[in-house]
Structure 1
Amino acid sequence: MKKTTSLSLMLSVILLSSALAGCSSKSNNDSTGTVSPSPSATAAQSSAAASTTPDAEPVTIAYWHIYTDGPMKDLTDKLLADFHTQHPNITVEQLGINFFDYWTKLSTSMAGGSGPDLALNDTSTLPTRAKAGAILSVDDYIAKSGLNTGDYFPLLVDKMKVDGKMYGMPNDTDVRVLYYNKKMFTEAGLDPNKPPATWDELEQYADKLTKWNDKKMLDVIGFSPAIGNLHLWTLAWANGGDFWDDQGKPTFNKPENVAALAWEKKIQDKYGVKAMAAFNSQASALGFSPFIAGKAAMVVDVNNLYQDIKTRAPDMDFGVAPIPNNGTPASWSAGFDLELTNNKDDKRAAAAWELMKYMTSPEVQVQIHEVSGSLVSNMKAAQDPKFMADPNWKLIVDQMQVSHFIEYIEAMPSWHGSLDPVEQAVLNSGKDPQQTLDDAQKAAEDALANFGKTQK
């Protein structure tokens, strides 16, 4: 069984490579594009000082991102051209790199001393780079520019901080919600305006919505936790669970977590391994969500699915709702941010800050949302009245109030990746939820103990 997970697919790769990232010393020559410089400032090993007085002396900076073609690349070209008009002394050399190649190339360049001055990066791995001194704190720039961090989603601002200092600015994020097919609801005798709110309701609705063919294979699946972008940690949060306590100790086999995994198994067992394998094989061949194809009546997925529905199935009658919970409303977010690489060049750092500030401004972020449909970090943009008039979008944005990021644990930064095989073993191989989480707990405790030995 395979879950679509755009941001989470890359996390383990980034975590392994970002630890290699060191400090850069000069601009990358592989970049292409154009923009320009403006202020001057001071950049130290782990923080940068800002200047409020623009410096008219020309400066060239490198900006790396993941937009190689399509509408977002076109928009990026336009935005950088507009930025250059506003800051004629700052020239921006941009480089767009394929999503799956980007993270390795970025961390390798930073380790080799030729990283870009400004880089789009993964928020959940930011502490690794901050602690290594590979990126700069932007506290002084924020203070001297008068930028209000209160304009950004609090969850995202919090994730930009390490040891009380802020490193970079959040760019965009995502959030998981329940999508449901209203036409299928009506056909199954369910109220299309009353989506399931609890796990019990979700199970009951799924039973009514599931359709089997004469070969005892799934024609339409009501709901499966293995389809879309719903992971064990999200269900555990929705059951009042967690995987780390306030002291940073693992709680993998906490009763609430075990109950969440057992509930997943209960739902999955209704379909059987053979039928699910056949369904997943057919779904994978689609190249897009089975929900869009009308093969899944309900699915938990990221907000980007909303944009896909608009593109691929604009006439679909569907609704969006919070993830059904077992007493604790919860969702899961991941995201990208913009970071200043520690290139030990005050002038370039100051110019890169100007671009960072521009790219996260409400005016620019409105344009980014209009083109990509992404949940941008600037609340003024994400909550623009013209977007919030859409009740589906409003609900998506509102879920940021209950959303979680994956906790950053220095001793085990990719801990959540270790839960996927645990989850799959229970759902596909019939393993016992309690035993698998007991084993995961032991592995986490060992990882912390081994890490502790390296710190002595």
Structure 2
Amino acid sequence: MAAAVAAIAGVMSAASAVEVKYMLWDSMQAPAYRQCAADFSRKHPGITIKLMQYGWDDYWTAVSMGFISDTAPDVFTNHLSKSSEFVKNGLLLDLTPYIRRDQVDMGQFAPALVQIWGRGGKQYGMPKDFDTIGLIVNLARARAAGVTLAELQNMDWNPVDGGSFERIVRRLTLDRQGRNASSPAFDARNVAVYGYQNPGSGGMMGQTEWSHFAVSTGFRYQDQPWSQPFYYDDPKLAQTLDWLAGLSAKGLSAPYQFTRSMGSDAMFVAGKAAMIPQGSWMITYFAANAKFENAWVPLPRGPQGQRATMLNGLADSIWSGSRVKEQAWQWVKYLGSRDCQQVVASYGVTLPAIQGMPELAVAAIRSKTGADAGAFLQMAREHTFLAPITDNAAQIDDVMKGAMEAVLLGRQRAAPALKAANEQVNQLLAPPRR
């Protein structure tokens, strides 16, 4: 009799369970979060999690259409490039009252990962992971060129002659006759393997494309998140971009038009580029797809003697229109807990936000794929900086993408292109005239 009552109670509980819709874009992370969802539902039998995963482009279309049609997911993985517009339009729930009520320890996260998701004393996202930038190198190509791993791990760079970084890139670059770019006979018009490949224009952030070079010279986007003016007209950034644009003329990188169509990741996997910059979120991709020995190494030291990397982080946000805000908060709180982030770390796909968890993730990555992701932890201990955070981010990104492309295509020198773009950017942020 007792068993029958318990069974009936279980059925009634399941039937009355509140459903929280949760959306994310990364298919490689989905299994870890399905496990978190299963664990959460066992602890909260009155709440079920409906996990939905879409690719990057479809994901943001689905989120935006959901806002318009009043069917958005209750909780979704948020990105800094999108969040400022959501905050501006009142689409995100302020988590601060819930954090205070439940006494969530936000000190368990690196301070920057909390800061980037806050504005005006309000918190719009619970940190879930973080990423830094490193270089992935074709070690087979490096060995053939006589370049050691120690050399790759200790490169320096400057925008005048490229430093030891450019000298190594020359050694890694091969023309179709097998001559490297250090040889006087090197044919820059007929390159078989490019030593380095810039991923693209980078828009307003340049996360993998140019930010690490520029900031290592002393460039900064803005004084602090949400502040103005922007400093895209800084001569340090112009000098950095002119150097990057000049690599293709030397035959060290493919022309921007070629990269735009093929992509630097595909070039590396195909053996057409010996070294590219990428983020820690791509570790498992290259482990699965690069069929040759490779290694992650830290970014080169810049003119100021420091390596620099953007420290970015995703967060879980709650839609302000959710009809199940309390249950959504319970799920978000769990996503930011040690229990869930330890599960995520064990899957070895991304670096969780709670301090101490990234080391567990790196160990899991090494165990599962053989890849050594320690370079990303090293970069996290170097000079880190935040992505630019501002209102009107979509319009600013369009302006900066156009300017960067003009420079990389060789249509304009960087200084005048950036000066004009920076004026547009700051006009977009200027208060309206009365």
TM-score grouping bracket, smaller chain normalisation: 0.7 to 0.9
Cα separation, 1, equivalents of 2:339 and 2:89: 33
1:435 maps to what in 2?
Answer: 416
Amino acid in the other structure paired with 2:423: K
Q: C-alpha deviations, 1:178-221, integer Å up to 9, x for none?
A: 22233333322333212223231111111111100148421111
1:261 maps to what in 2?
Answer: 241
Structure 2 matches for 1:284-323, cutoff 5 A?
A: 284=263, 288-313=265-290, 316-323=293-300
Cα separation, 2, equivalents of 1:106 and 1:318: 36
- The answer to whether the 8 A contact 1:177-1:303 is kept is yes
1:161, CA displacement in angstroms?
Answer: 0.7
Cα separation, 2, equivalents of 1:111 and 1:380: 39
1:107, CA displacement in angstroms?
Answer: 2.5
Q: C-alpha deviations, 1:301-322, integer Å up to 9, x for none?
A: 1113321232123651424212
Is 1:210 the counterpart of 2:190? The answer is no
1:149 maps to what in 2?
Answer: 106
Q: C-alpha deviations, 1:73-114, integer Å up to 9, x for none?
A: 444333322211111111333333343122122223224433
TM-score (ref. length: structure 2): 0.79
1:388, CA displacement in angstroms?
Answer: 8.5
Cα separation, 2, equivalents of 1:98 and 1:57: 31
TM-score (ref. length: structure 1): 0.76
1:131, CA displacement in angstroms?
Answer: 4.0
- The answer to whether the 8 A contact 2:344-2:352 is kept is yes
Cα separation, 1, equivalents of 2:104 and 2:140: 46
Amino acid in the other structure paired with 1:289: A
1:352, CA displacement in angstroms?
Answer: 1.2
Correspondence for 1:397 among 365, 377, 382: 377
Correspondence for 1:82 among 39, 46, 51: 39
Q: C-alpha deviations, 1:270-323, integer Å up to 9, x for none?
A: 1289x6369648955xx9532233322221111133212321236514242124
Q: C-alpha deviations, 1:352-410, integer Å up to 9, x for none?
A: 11111222223322333443612222223222287289694232023234333322222
Cα separation, 1, equivalents of 2:25 and 2:261: 30
RMSD: 3.3
The unaligned stretches of length 5 or more in structure 1 are 1-37, 39-55
Which moved further from structure 2: 150-159 or 333-342? 333-342
Which moved further from structure 2: 435-444 or 312-321? 312-321
Compared CA separation, residues 356 and 314, structure 1 to 2 (3 A): farther
Cα separation, 1, equivalents of 2:278 and 2:108: 26
Is 1:349 the counterpart of 2:328? The answer is no
Compared CA separation, residues 67 and 329, structure 1 to 2 (3 A): closer
The unaligned stretches of length 5 or more in structure 2 are 1-12, 178-186
Compared CA separation, residues 145 and 245, structure 1 to 2 (3 A): closer
- The answer to whether the 8 A contact 1:178-1:301 is kept is yes
Amino acid in the other structure paired with 1:291: F
Identity of aligned residues (%): 20
Cα separation, 2, equivalents of 1:127 and 1:432: 31
Is 1:62 the counterpart of 2:20? The answer is yes
Compared CA separation, residues 349 and 221, structure 1 to 2 (3 A): same
Is 1:221 the counterpart of 2:194? The answer is yes
Compared CA separation, residues 183 and 412, structure 1 to 2 (3 A): closer
Is 1:371 the counterpart of 2:334? The answer is no
Compared CA separation, residues 411 and 313, structure 1 to 2 (3 A): closer
Amino acid in the other structure paired with 2:39: D
1:136, CA displacement in angstroms?
Answer: 1.8
- The answer to whether the 8 A contact 1:118-1:341 is kept is yes
Correspondence for 2:309 among 306, 331, 334: 331
- The answer to whether the 8 A contact 2:135-2:278 is kept is yes
Is 1:135 the counterpart of 2:92? The answer is yes
- The answer to whether the 8 A contact 1:340-1:353 is kept is yes
2:184 maps to what in 1?
Answer: none
1:197 maps to what in 2?
Answer: 156
Cα separation, 2, equivalents of 1:405 and 1:64: 26
Work out the number of aligned pairs and report it.
394
Cα separation, 1, equivalents of 2:44 and 2:416: 60
